Amino acid sequence: HSALTQPASVSGSPGQSITISCSGTSSDIGAYNFVSWFQQHPGKAPQLIIFDVSNRPSGLSDRFSGSKSGNTASLTISGLQADDEADYYCSSYTTKKSPIFGTGTKVTVL
Amino acid sequence: QVQLVQSGAEVKKPGASVRVSCKASGYTFTNYGISWLRQAPGQGPEWMGWINTYDGNTKYAQNFQGRVTVTTDTSTSTAYMDVSSLRSDDTAVYYCARDVNLAPATLQDYWGRGTLVTVSS
């Protein structure tokens, strides 16, 4: 299992929607519905924003949504805001009984 | 509120060992596991290992088996990670995270702020 593949960067204007993809294999994303997404601002710890493919932790904005099709998961951020500018990482449980993380995507708000 | 407070930055020479601590508060320590992860500069997190804080059972990623040891002190709600035989490519920020049991998977729902470990001669 090497890292899940994400685009290096995605950008959008305030108010727009953007989607970040996370590509895996039949041994991770394709095998389970245990996909999570984390937001990480510079110098800060990762914060959980999506778990079990599409569930949000209590109190988290519904502007963040997740989905999965086959071996690829996606995170959509709608109504893009300046504070959404951060790095985003996907994660999946694997058939090796451990989690694997993505390569990371830098989101820029234009 | 859930807090995981980690020990401070460390600078080590190649071949040395390092211990990172993680003190939990705001929840019942033995109701959740603790995972340890690391993040090298410009890369995504990498899961290293996990401990069941209730019974001390551990699991390690294959890459770290034999070089990483995770323990806990339930009397102080503190988890520890020891890494031995440090190499320059072990330079990274090391995180502890609270682990929620979603059997068979676990979910790292709260993370500490990280501990920078620099390995340099």
Interface probe with A: pick from B20, B100, B111, most Cβ of A within 10 Å: B111
Instruction: Provide, as residue numbers in chain B, all residues whose Cβ is less than 8 Å from the Cβ of A3.
Output: 43-44
At residue A1, does pLDDT exceed 80? Answer: no
Band the pLDDT of B42: cuts 50, 70, 90. Answer: confident
In b/e form, how buried is each residue of A12-32, taking b as 16+ CB within 10 angstroms?
Answer: beeeeebebbbbbbeebbbeb
Distance separating alpha carbons of residues A26 and A47, to the nearest angstrom: 26
- Which ranges of chain A does DSSP label H, i.e. alpha helix? none
Q: Give the model confidence (pLDDT) of A20-71 as tens digits.
A: 999 999 999 999 999 999 999 998 889 999 999 999 999 999 999 999 999 9
Please tell me which residue of chain B has the smallest CA distance to A92.
Answer: B105
B112 CA: distance to closest CA in chain A (Å): 6
Does the distance separating the beta carbons of B107 and A48 come in below 8 Å? yes
Instruction: Provide, as residue numbers in chain B, all residues whose Cβ is less than 8 Å from the Cβ of A32.
Output: 105
Query: According to the model, what pLDDT value does residue B104 have?
Result: 81
Please tell me which residue of chain A has the smallest CA distance to B104.
Answer: A97
Please tell me which residue of chain A has the smallest CA distance to B3.
Answer: A45
B79 and B51 Cβ atoms separated by less than 8 Å: yes
* Closest Cβ–Cβ partner in B45, B46, B105 for A34: B105
* Closest Cβ–Cβ partner in A44, A89, A96 for B45: A89
Question: What's the whole-number average pLDDT of chain B?
Answer: 95
Distance separating alpha carbons of residues A88 and A91, to the nearest angstrom: 10
Query: According to the model, what pLDDT value does residue B102 have?
Result: 81
Share of chain B above pLDDT 70, in %: 100
